[in-house]
Amino acid sequence: MRYFIKLAYNGTNYHGWQCQPNASSVQETLNKAVSVILNSEINLMGAGRTDTGVHAKEMYAHFDFENPFEIQSLVHKLNSYLPKDIVIYDIIPVHQEAHARFDATKRTYEYHINTFKDVFLQDESWYYHQKLDLDLMNQASKLLFNHTDFQCFSKVNTDVNTFDCTIFEAHWTQEKNTLIFTISANRFLRNMVRAIVGTLVYVGLHKITLVDFNNIIASKNRSEAGFSVPAHGLYLTKIDYEYL
């Protein structure tokens, strides 16, 4: 049987999702927990890779296991075993060909900017005190819909076949002292959201114009775009599948 695990994590203490030598990862921590409780070596395939310090309010991973088990009991045991910064919401039986990464049709991220220093949000949002023009940043965000090639926002020397992404949603909102950028797409390039936000911050500071922003995307050149904002303000918030 193949199963999807629905989980969330605070990424502060992890070097991202993916297993890597000499560094703590969410995938490695979860593999160990599931393997111990099911008394079998389990390797989970995640829906994607989050970078060091990035959080996930909703993440999926799949694994295979032959013997039957009681789902709610396993969820409870995993949550008791796992550290406090990882939580399991559900375990879902799926068809044998289901794939957590390749079957995802849409992914949604949020980036949180805190405009007032909050000691309880230091690892969960980026504190940035300068005044930003949110209306202008929203106008710039709409320009993303006019493009599909986002090489200018991709980490350089990344191993991908295409820089094309279809963006479904991109906008800013404000909740008290927090500015939230929400973006959805069929796929994302490495570092893409953080580079988009950094470039939009330049728009909000009136350092670059809407025309400049559009030309940066058309340039396909990472050096033309803005800086990458810190990882700890970024959240993977939703992953969509046709069968879930």
Query: Which residues form the catalytic set?
Result: 51
Give the CB-side neighbour count of residue 179, counting CA atoms within 13 A. Answer: 23
Q: Which among 90, 183, 93, 194 has a CA at the least distance from the CA of 141?
A: 183
Q: Give the three-class secondary structure for 19.
A: coil
| 28-37 contacts at long range (C-beta below 8 A, 24 or more positions apart) | 29/82, 29/83, 29/86, 30/5, 30/61, 30/82, 30/86, 33/78, 33/81, 33/82, 34/5, 34/63, 34/78, 36/81, 37/74, 37/77, 37/78, 37/81
Q: Could you say which DSSP state residue 151 is in?
A: G
Report the amino acid identity of residue 49. Answer: R
